[in-house]
Amino acid sequence: MKTRRLTVAQAIVEFLQNQYVEVDGCKTPFVKGVFTIFGHGNVLGLGQALEENPGDLHVLQGRNEQGMAHAAMGFAKQKLRKQIFACTSSIGPGAANMVTAAATASVNRIPVLFLPGDSYAVRQPDPVLQQVEQPYDYNITTNDAFKAVSRYWDRINRPEQTMTAMIHAMRVLTSPADTGAVTVCLPQDVQGEAYDFPESFLAERVHRIERTPATAEMLKEAADAIVGKKKPLLICGGGVRYSEASEEFLKFAEAFNIPIGETQAGKSAVPAANRLNLGGIGTTGNLASNRIARDADLVIGVGTRFSDFTTASKSLFQHPDVEFISINISDFDAYKMDAVKVIADAKVALTQLADELRARGYSSGYNTEIAAAKDAWNEELERLYNLTYTGDDFVPEVKARDEAILPDFFKAFNSRLTETQVLGELNKILDDDAIAVSSAGSLPGDMQRMWNASQPNTYHMEYGFSCMGYEINGALGVKMAAPDQEVYAFVGDGSYMMSHSELVTSIQENQKINILLFDNSSFGCINNLQMGTGMGSFGTEFRYRNSVSGKLDGELMKIDFAMNAAAYGAKTYSVTTMKELRSAVADAKEQTVSTLIDIKVMPKTMTDSYESWWRCGVAEVSQKKEIQTAYAGQQEGIKNARPY
């Protein structure tokens, strides 16, 4: 056996250079590069290896470990999981900062390789700088926190372990069913230790992502379930996009006249204008999807996890005889909702099932219901696009209890822009191939309902973990994956303050992103939740502490986000009118540097639920009548929800 003497870090770097994926006969490098923040726990190991021989790996300098890892996730998600970045940090706080991003990746089934530095394997200098010591178990380090959020976890304590650790890392990263965060912990002494590595380990390795077909038994069971149903509904999940099955999915829907509801991950797989596409479904869904879903006697989920937002906490589907079919490459996800299971690649399975149904002469029983539902929603959508505040009256969405903040906001910012009005205008003036990125707050709900994507893969929503701070950092990864398209991060003021670290990296790397910052002076989504369930506005508006009351109920804080981003070198704009918004977007399109548009939007001007419900933990005991009422409402909702 031929060998080469390398350090563990050098072997890992060379191994990563030679990993490829093959999909439908097309072979591409799997690891695009490495995001780094160097510290004493990785700079002399992986850092030395990357300096000496990076090969074709693109090495980027992150600003915050969580931020750079979210950028890596954004890249892999936009690449439909066919190419990834690795992320390396020092030990201790640097590694701990990546745990949140690892959770984001795993929940969303997106491959990211984490290579955190670790404490010394030999233990001789312990306790070392940034080491967490646990008296009950000396084997535990900060990196054990990754176990709960990783799809695969390993620690290389000896050079000989490198081969199996990295091969199994690739097994999971390239698996359509099992992918997510993969963590390989690297003790800082082991990184620099030498070993005679087999050349076969360092050679080119091709990971074929196979299109697993459905078995005849699966197809028969699914077809048997469909043929007796008159009002089926298709749910387009993220798996449709990752399988690149958009064409097959739409052909299936059209062949059998089945309406479509979109999840956050599935949105933009099918053009919004298609007659069968009813749009977002569930708790953050729209009127059309939710009404059709309520009466559906069969729900066919394709590539969806059936999350609580998609199913409205399992309360959405009210037909007494409703049944479920789940087409999913993951058997874990296919078992949800007690569904008939078709465990297969979505692209292949849809074609197979379509052939089976044609042979049986199947067609749904819909007549005018689909068109009527879509027409009604389009009328409501136009109303949302034109919601305005005159100063004397307001839109019906704003309840009397919510009105208190509006005069304060207008006084502070002199803006009457509403969130739905701004989203409607942006949907009209952004280029059709522009990619919209978002994650948390009120924007995901508004966008799932209101955003009409006309081109494939132009809607990029992280809503599995709904991690505040993903938006801007993820947008950098999206831009690197789609350099010829404009990328817009839709972000609230709360999420912006949570994390926007890789805005600086975007400027450093000349990767232009555009930030559309919706400033409503609050954690608006959660403020709505607390007030909608009987609480007052408590700790969610951005107010100064009142010197008299001692509470956070003073004047609203006036934060100039444009000035903040300008300090980094971004081109910025401040917007309080529609004319200013149009002008800012037009100018931003001409820029070559990252931009930020600070849009002051009135609180309480987002969309509301459309005949949907969401289970949340309302207090069972309270002196407030409003909370007692909200609790009773939650219990009624639970009665109408499926038990599993």
pLDDT number for residue 404: 76
Is residue 147 domain-shared with residue 254, that is, in the same domain? no
> Would you say residue 564 lies in a domain?
yes
pLDDT number for residue 407: 84
Is residue 488 domain-shared with residue 581, that is, in the same domain? yes
Pairing of strands 26-29, 19-23: antiparallel
pLDDT number for residue 439: 98
259 neighbors 370 (Cβ within 8 angstroms)? yes
pLDDT in tens, 176-227: 999 999 999 999 999 999 999 999 999 999 999 999 999 999 999 999 999 9
Is residue 302 domain-shared with residue 438, that is, in the same domain? no
Which pair of tokens denotes residue 57?
């790996």
pLDDT at 367 over 90: yes
Percent of the chain predicted with pLDDT > 70: 98
H or E element in which residue 514 lies: strand 514-519
Mark which of 173, 191, 208 sits at the end of a domain. Answer: 208
Is residue 489 domain-shared with residue 395, that is, in the same domain? yes
> Would you say residue 350 lies in a domain?
yes
Average pLDDT over residues 626-634: 92
pLDDT at 561 over 80: yes
Mark which of 371, 406, 434 sits at the end of a domain. Answer: 371
Determine the Cα–Cα distance for residues 514 and 479; give it in Å rounded to an integer.
10
Determine the Cα–Cα distance for residues 511 and 461; give it in Å rounded to an integer.
20
CATH number at residue 292: 3.40.50.1220
Nearest to 466 by CA among 173, 182, 265, 183: 265
pLDDT in tens, 497-525: 999 999 999 999 999 999 999 999 999 99
CATH number at residue 461: 3.40.50.970
Is residue 204 domain-shared with residue 226, that is, in the same domain? no
> Would you say residue 439 lies in a domain?
yes
Phi, psi of 263 (to 5 degrees): -85, 170
> Would you say residue 611 lies in a domain?
no
Is residue 340 domain-shared with residue 396, that is, in the same domain? no
Is residue 347 domain-shared with residue 475, that is, in the same domain? no
Percent of the chain predicted with pLDDT > 90: 92
pLDDT in tens, 424-463: 999 999 999 999 999 999 999 999 999 999 999 999 999 9
pLDDT in tens, 290-320: 999 999 999 999 999 999 999 999 999 999 9
- Residue 212: other Cβ atoms inside 10 A: 14
pLDDT at 164 over 90: yes
Determine the Cα–Cα distance for residues 496 and 56; give it in Å rounded to an integer.
33
Is residue 420 domain-shared with residue 544, that is, in the same domain? yes
pTM over 0.85: yes
Is residue 227 domain-shared with residue 308, that is, in the same domain? yes
pLDDT number for residue 401: 62
pLDDT in tens, 244-284: 999 999 999 999 999 999 999 999 999 999 999 999 999 99
pLDDT at 537 over 60: yes
239 neighbors 303 (Cβ within 8 angstroms)? yes
Mark which of 188, 208, 228 sits at the end of a domain. Answer: 208
Determine the Cα–Cα distance for residues 86 and 24; give it in Å rounded to an integer.
24
> Would you say residue 606 lies in a domain?
no
pLDDT number for residue 400: 58
pLDDT in tens, 373-432: 999 999 999 999 998 877 655 555 666 566 778 888 888 899 999 999 999 999 999 999
Q: What is the mean pLDDT of the chain?
A: 95
> Would you say residue 608 lies in a domain?
no
Exposed / middle / buried, residue 360 (Cβ in 10 Å: 0-12, 13-18, 19+):
exposed
Phi, psi of 596 (to 5 degrees): -135, 125
Determine the Cα–Cα distance for residues 465 and 102; give it in Å rounded to an integer.
10
Q: Tell me how many domains the chain contains.
A: 4
Is residue 365 domain-shared with residue 328, that is, in the same domain? yes
Nearest to 37 by CA among 82, 100, 76, 95: 95
409 neighbors 602 (Cβ within 8 angstroms)? yes
> Would you say residue 178 lies in a domain?
yes
Question: Residue 341: which domain range?
Answer: 216-371
pLDDT in tens, 479-498: 999 999 999 999 999 999 99
Is residue 127 domain-shared with residue 104, that is, in the same domain? yes
Give the pLDDT band of residue 163 (cuts 50, 70, 90): very high
pLDDT number for residue 282: 97
The reply to whether omega before 127 is within 30° of 0 (cis) is yes
> Would you say residue 241 lies in a domain?
yes
Is residue 194 domain-shared with residue 150, that is, in the same domain? yes
Average pLDDT over residues 526-535: 90
pLDDT in tens, 58-76: 999 999 999 999 999 999 9
